[in-house]
Chain A
Amino acid sequence: MTDHSLTVTTRAVGERVAVLTVSGEIDRASREVLATAAADVLEQGRHRLVLDLTGLEFCDSSGLSLFVELHRRTLALAGGLRLGGARPLVATVILATSLDRLLRLHPTADAAVDAALRDD
């Protein structure tokens, strides 16, 4: 349960989309790593966030609440949040809490990026 258990790398796509590639585990100790990375991107003016979850091995409720927070913040900035490539274990956590009714899930990160680019 150290904050080294999560790494986030960021890349820009086009003018307005940012992809955050999330690897490792999100829990209450490590969620700040993603929160900080997302805050930086939003500050730079990219308000359409895609979280590439392909490398995410575990996500607890602290992670889910961060997804909800990013969803709300990006919407308030006329942007949006999309999640791509969640593994079955992570997808199960999202489905178990019914948060798939709020969070937009895509089978792959590429599909999430395509959808984010079409958001106009």
Chain B
Amino acid sequence: MSDSPWFDALRGILDRSHLWTPDDITPTVNAALAGLGIQVRIWLIDHEQVALRTLPDTGRILPVDSCPAFTLVSSRPEGDRLWVPMVDGTDRLGVIEFLPAPPEVERCEMIAGLVGHLIGTIAERGDLIESTRRTRPMSPAAELLFRLLPPLTSSTDRLVTSAVLQPCYEVGGDGFDYAHDDTTAALLILDAVGHGLPAGLACAVALSAVRATRRAGGGLAEQARAADAALLEQFPDSRFVTAVLAEVDLAGGRLRYLNAGHPAPLLLRDGTMMRELTGGRRMPLGIEDDTPIAEEALEPGDRLLFYTDGVTEARSADGDRFGLPRLVDLIEKHESAGLPTPETLRRLAHAVLEHQDGPPADDATLMLVQWSATAASNTVPTAGRTVREEQTT
């Protein structure tokens, strides 16, 4: 079959995308695919990653657990229709339902890939994408924070980084950042003292100071000192931020990190927990201190789990802490199931939430990094996957 109707469809979507609003997306895609006799329904994931909702919202709800196209990032036929993951890069935005199911799965993934990218770029220019993804209002602190954060998931040929923050409509003091560049992955997790907007502001100050210094070429110690200075200047009440700052050399696997009063990251190898990375300790950001840098040699396939104490300190109604052993046990279990990294994290975050019977007392953030070409390719929709050899040097 000729590709030209598909090319025409892509062109129809792109041509309209310069001037469209979020309301136009579904009608535009449908108009573009009309020549192929296909209709679509676009589903967006909610922020809590529990259910998918149509764009525009029609009240229909699709539970995530019944949608493997989303959870496994893999296209699935179901009866007369085809479910295709919709990602922006590798950040899971939702799924597109194609009806009737065309035989050209890769072509559908191409359309979904384009629509995913375009939704990613338009999401901040109108409110409809965001309001469709919200099941309740966001606190000002969470609104501030999410504007600062990079996408929850990002992959390159060599590694994948994925994060989850809970409670997603009220987070304030927790944050994360990463920068995937050619030779280095920079990683950051943060937890500011207190709750709500004051904590969110401290987190924003620390994150911005670290990011600005990193983008100016500053190393880990310099980034930490910049955050110290910015926090000291802004918060005379000794508000501090615990954090881990790290960088991975993507050719050789050398990990360098410092830990400013934060829970030690975990190193997982071959599916099991190796150890906590307890080096590089100094006081929290905002309290000037020596800044020792610790080093660790990663092996191909290794995973690093960064978390805030809201994860391990989460308590059930009868006071039982979620705790580190339970966290390790769950992540080992999901590793053996071979789930895509963002799906492992989604399930971990929900396990923490379910452990607490009431509203969470603290922000809980998880960031999982896997230095693996296979893990990275698992975050890309199936038919387009080209599995590359694992890095060996």
Interface residues of A (CB under 8 A from B): 28, 61-62, 64-66, 68-69, 72, 96-99, 101-102
8 Å CB interface, B281-314 against A: 281-284, 287, 289, 309
Kindly identify which residue among B195, B238, B309 contacts A72, using a CB–CB cutoff of 8 Å.
B238
CA distance A36 to B104 in the complex (A): 70
Tell me if B238 and A96 are in contact (CB < 8 A).
no
Report the nearest A residue to B282, measured CB to CB. Answer: A98
Kindly identify which residue among A62, A69, A72, A98 contacts B261, using a CB–CB cutoff of 8 Å.
A98
Tell me if B283 and A98 are in contact (CB < 8 A).
yes
Beyond contacts A64-B193, A101-B283: 6 other A-B pairs, Cβ-Cβ < 8 A, are A96-B263, A97-B242, A98-B261, A98-B289, A99-B287, A101-B282
CA distance A64 to B281 in the complex (A): 17
Tell me if A65 and B263 are in contact (CB < 8 A).
no
- A selection of 13 A-B contacts at a CB cut-off of 8 Å is A28-B194, A28-B195, A61-B240, A62-B193, A65-B194, A65-B239, A65-B240, A66-B238, A68-B240, A97-B262, A98-B259, A102-B283, A102-B287
8 Å CB interface, B37-80 against A: none
- Distance to closest chain B CB from A67 (angstroms): 9
Interface residues of B (CB under 8 A from A): 191, 193-195, 237-240, 242, 259-263, 281-284, 287, 289, 309
CA distance A98 to B289 in the complex (A): 10
Tell me if B194 and A69 are in contact (CB < 8 A).
no
Report the nearest A residue to B237, measured CB to CB. Answer: A69
Residues of A within 8 A of B262 (CB): 97
Tell me if B193 and A65 are in contact (CB < 8 A).
yes
- Distance to closest chain A CB from B22 (angstroms): 38
Tell me if B281 and A98 are in contact (CB < 8 A).
yes
Tell me if A61 and B193 are in contact (CB < 8 A).
yes
Report the nearest A residue to B260, measured CB to CB. Answer: A98
CA distance A61 to B190 in the complex (A): 13
Tell me if A97 and B238 are in contact (CB < 8 A).
no
Report the nearest A residue to B281, measured CB to CB. Answer: A98
Residues of A within 8 A of B261 (CB): 96-99
- Distance to closest chain A CB from B373 (angstroms): 35
Report the nearest A residue to B261, measured CB to CB. Answer: A97
- Distance to closest chain B CB from A31 (angstroms): 9
CA distance A65 to B194 in the complex (A): 9
Report the nearest B residue to A99, measured CB to CB. Answer: B283
Report the nearest A residue to B259, measured CB to CB. Answer: A98
Q: Given the known A-B contacts A68-B287, A99-B261, A102-B287, are A61 and B194 also in contact in the complex, defined by CB atoms under 8 Å?
A: yes
Residues of A within 8 A of B283 (CB): 97-99, 101-102
Pick from A61, A66, A72, A98 the residue with the most CB of B within 10 Å: A61
Residues of B within 8 A of A28 (CB): 194-195
CA distance A98 to B309 in the complex (A): 14
CA distance A68 to B239 in the complex (A): 9
